[in-house]
Amino acid sequence: RLISRVGSGLGLAQSGPMRTLFNSTINTINGNVVLVNFKGSINNVSFSFDIINETLGNPQCVFWNFSLFNGLGGWDDEGCELVSNANETVTCNCNHLTSFSILMSAFIPKEIQAILAYITYIGVGISLGCLVICLIIEAIIWRKVCNNNTLRLYHVSIVNIAVCLLIADIWFIIAAAISSPNVENPPACRAATFFIHFFYLALFFWMLASALFVLYYSVHVFDGVVSEHAMAIGFSLGYGAPLIIAIITIAVTAPNNQYVQRTGVCWLNWDESKALLAFVIPALLIVVVNLFILVVVMCKIFSSRGTGNATSAHQNHVLLSIARNLVVLTPLFGTTWCLGIGTMISPRNEGIHIAFAVFNSLQGFFILVFATLLDKTVCMCLYQLLTKHLEGALRNHICY
């Protein structure tokens, strides 16, 4: 069902307080209320209305959101915009676009909804491409980096971070496709929310695993086969911890129908159960812990320079290179989700919404640049492989 109307405000025609998101009492219906019944889903609707009272101004386009006020419903202007207002006729268009901004704030200023959606989908497209390139590069250089314990564990972390973000972005696109302002918490929406929650958390826990690997090898430097215990701990932390958090969250909130937002968005609830804290708190704690670990590692590396043998010096060089990468990535992810909290604190601030959408949608690009392309070890491996390939091709050409 879809009910759409236009007027200077929201609600039923001059019959008392209007049931809207902000319960405005100064608005009235100034056009026909249209009820449309349909089977399936509609993503874009346009209506034209004849104005009843010409003395009223500031026309506004809204729809009846059945999920507001615990299922009672109310007028809502999210995703609806005024197309034209001329010749006593008003034309409205409702297109419920979904952007990353809805991950943190249920309210998105109407003026920038389309902009945020375009930023999100373009950014996600770029990120998905960058993550695929990152994984291809990791596959190409894998044999080279496996010769060093520290590098191997670090690149295991980078591969898993890229995979988690790739899957999370894919699930976000699926969630955006199945989100509907007229259907409250469908089962598919809960499933999408669970996987988005799990894989975004896994990304942060693998960031924590990377920092812990660096801390471990800055204290215990040794050569040989990578410790199976260290690898097992990494996977347990990277996937086990977020899985436990995600399962507990859905188990506690789903029975009371408070797991998913009630605004037609497939993401963790905030208004009733505060389930969103099950993502925000672990993510920001990991950012703080990572920064502390990296400061300790950097201080230890610099203090031990010139006091060890060649092997230790090489190991310190590797650790320093990895730590620099993490020093860049950790604040970037932290800044992204701090901006997300900003959208909750100041939901009407358009600049914060746009900045959050840009940073969030380009996380895959940041991983490719700072964890892969600007890594000297990766660049050296790629250069050696490319040189070897070119020399072989040139040799074959000369022999021919």
What structural domains does the chain harbor?
27-106 (2.60.220.50), 110-390 (1.20.1070.10)
Q: Given a cut of 60, is residue 22 above it in pLDDT? A: no
pLDDT digit string, tens, across residues 355-383: 888 888 899 999 999 888 888 888 888 88
The reported pTM is 0.72
In the numeric block, the tokens 């969103």 are attached to 276
By the 10 Å C-beta count (0-12 exposed, 13-18 middle, 19+ buried), 126 is classed as middle
At residue 16, the pLDDT reads 35
SS3 state at 18? coil
Instruction: Check pLDDT > 80 for residue 89.
Output: no
| C-alpha 96, offset from chain centre | 19
Q: Is the pLDDT of residue 161 over 90?
A: yes
pLDDT grade, residue 237 (50/70/90)? very high
Is beta strand 2-7 parallel, antiparallel or unpaired with respect to 34-36? antiparallel
Condensed to tens digits (0 to 9), the pLDDT of residues 257-302 reads 889 887 667 888 887 888 989 998 999 899 889 888 888 887 877 7
The count of other CB atoms within 10 Å of the CB of residue 118 is: 13
Q: Residue 86: its pLDDT value, please?
A: 73
The proportion of the chain whose per-residue pLDDT surpasses 90, expressed as a percent, equals: 20
- Is residue 113 within 8 Å of residue 122, measured between CB atoms? no
Binned at pLDDT 50, 70 and 90, residue 305 comes out as low
pLDDT-wise least confident of 39-43, 222-226, 231-235:
222-226
The average pLDDT across 297-312 equals 64
Residues 6+ apart with CB under 8 A from 260: 185, 189, 190, 193, 266, 267, 268, 269
Identify the three-state secondary structure at position 312.
helix
